Amino acid sequence: MSNTKHILQMLKSKAAGDDEHFYSIALQIAAAEARSGRRTTAEELRAAVDDARAVKSRGASVPISFSRPRGELESLIDLREPKLRLSDVVLHRSVSEKLEDLIRQQMKRDWLREHGKTPNRKVLFVGPPGSGKTMTAEALAGDLRLPLFVIRLESLITRFMGETAAKVRLVFEETFKHRGVYLFDEFDALGSQRKATNDVAEMRRVLNSFLQMMEEPNATDSVLLGATNHPELLDRALLRRFDSVIEFEAPSKEQIKALILRYLRPMKRPRLAWKKIVEAAAGLSQSEIARAAEDAVKTAILDERDVIKTEDVLRRLHERREMRDAFSRAVS
């Protein structure tokens, strides 16, 4: 593409408000400069793009670059606007390092492709309920400044038995069109349902569709996340398709305390009974614990206090547990 065409494309992208396309063209120019031996100019262009992306990322909101799924997709995909960043989630160091590597590869994906490499984008989250898998998916989308799409495979398979493979293909086609983070929750349904259902042929079609579509090149570099509580149920062929597997653990006592402290800011918190608080939080998800802490802060604000009491936190944690128990009874 000539410089004139590059400039025209950049102007059209800017007019349409498509900043990512604007940056992509700038990186194409950088690649052309590098191939021509002008490495210094190429590095300056890349640095300028990185700086522009960083400036845009500051602030509380994460921009959603396209509208909600419509038609059939509306019943298959749940769009969520990320309100979290990875700094809002308490994670083990090994998990944080793997996620930071994924983000780095995604942010510099054009650079990797210049060298004939493909950025990682297919990751399996493994861990017990409440270990922070869904919360981390939202935070990852937030750091990448992308929308989060949640697809619950268990309900999709149950609801559309006989049409599941076609529905799954419809979802994957969306990942080819619109860049985002796509979370396939209840991923073990592919394994457990294949064994439990009488329609073995249907589940084999679904599995084969997944295997095939995970291997197809994705021009948008959409990030695909699978989340499972039972990795032992997954087909080995499916496991091999992931670039990385990240294991989550239930929050430790230290992590529970760190998470609550993070969400109690900027309130004062003298002499909190941490043993009682940690015991009350045990078994709750990171998201539930964070919301309980935020609600405790709201209580203090409405009471015109700048100090958090142990009772504030315990009350809100108990409420979250009651909500969870009520939901469990409703679906059982």
Pairing of strands 122-126, 148-152: unpaired
Question: Where does the pLDDT of residue 41 fall: very low under 50, low under 70, confident under 90, or very high at 90 and above?
Answer: confident
Task: Please state, as a whole number, how many other Cβ atoms lie within 10 Å of the Cβ of residue 145.
Answer: 18
Please write the tens of the pLDDT for every residue from 87-129.
989 899 999 999 999 999 999 888 888 888 889 999 999 998 8
CB distance 304 to 265 below 8 Å: no
CA–CA distance, 154 with 11 (Å, rounded to integer): 44
User: What is residue 27's predicted lDDT score, i.e. its pLDDT?
Assistant: 76
3-17, 123-137, 235-249: lowest mean pLDDT where? 3-17
Task: Please state, as a whole number, how many other Cβ atoms lie within 10 Å of the Cβ of residue 236.
Answer: 7
Tokens of 153: 């495979």
What string of DSSP letters covers 214-265? Answer: HHS--TT--EEEEEES-GGGS-HHHHTT-SEEEE--PPPHHHHHHHHHHHHT
User: What is residue 130's predicted lDDT score, i.e. its pLDDT?
Assistant: 83
* Residue 198 DSSP symbol: S
| pTM (global) more than 0.75 | no
CA–CA distance, 106 with 284 (Å, rounded to integer): 31
Residue found by looking up tokens 């402290």 in the block: 261
Tell me which of 126 and 75 has the higher pLDDT. 126
CA–CA distance, 187 with 151 (Å, rounded to integer): 9
Question: What percentage of the chain reaches a pLDDT higher than 90?
Answer: 35
Domain 71-247 class, CATH top level? alpha beta
Please write the tens of the pLDDT for every residue from 214-243.
888 777 789 999 999 888 888 787 888 899
CA–CA distance, 251 with 129 (Å, rounded to integer): 11
What spatial distance separates the first Cα and last Cα of the chain, rounded to whole Å? Answer: 60
Query: Quick one: which of 263, 262, 277 has its CA closest to 314?
Result: 277
257: Cβ–Cβ under 8 A, 6 or more apart, which residues?
A: 274, 277, 278
Task: Please state, as a whole number, how many other Cβ atoms lie within 10 Å of the Cβ of residue 138.
Answer: 23
* Percentages (nearest 5) of helix, strand, coil residues in the chain: 60, 10, 30
User: What is residue 191's predicted lDDT score, i.e. its pLDDT?
Assistant: 62
Domain ranges of the chain: 3-57, 71-247, 253-331
pLDDT over 60 (residue 314): yes
Query: Quick one: which of 120, 118, 128, 177 has its CA closest to 149?
Result: 177
Tokens of 33: 């400069």
CB distance 139 to 82 below 8 Å: yes
Tokens of 72: 């059939």
Pairing of strands 148-152, 78-80: antiparallel
Cα Rg of the chain (Å, integer)? 22
The mean of the pLDDT values for the chain is 83
Question: Where does the pLDDT of residue 68 fall: very low under 50, low under 70, confident under 90, or very high at 90 and above?
Answer: low
Tokens of 267: 């309130």
CA–CA distance, 110 with 147 (Å, rounded to integer): 20
pLDDT over 90 (residue 181): yes
Tell me which of 225 and 13 has the higher pLDDT. 225
CB distance 99 to 136 below 8 Å: yes
Question: Where does the pLDDT of residue 143 fall: very low under 50, low under 70, confident under 90, or very high at 90 and above?
Answer: very high
CA–CA distance, 76 with 264 (Å, rounded to integer): 36
Tokens of 88: 């809002």
Q: What is the CATH number of domain 253-331?
A: 1.10.8.60
Report the pLDDT averaged over residues 285-297.
93
pLDDT over 90 (residue 46): no
143-157, 183-197, 317-331: lowest mean pLDDT where? 183-197
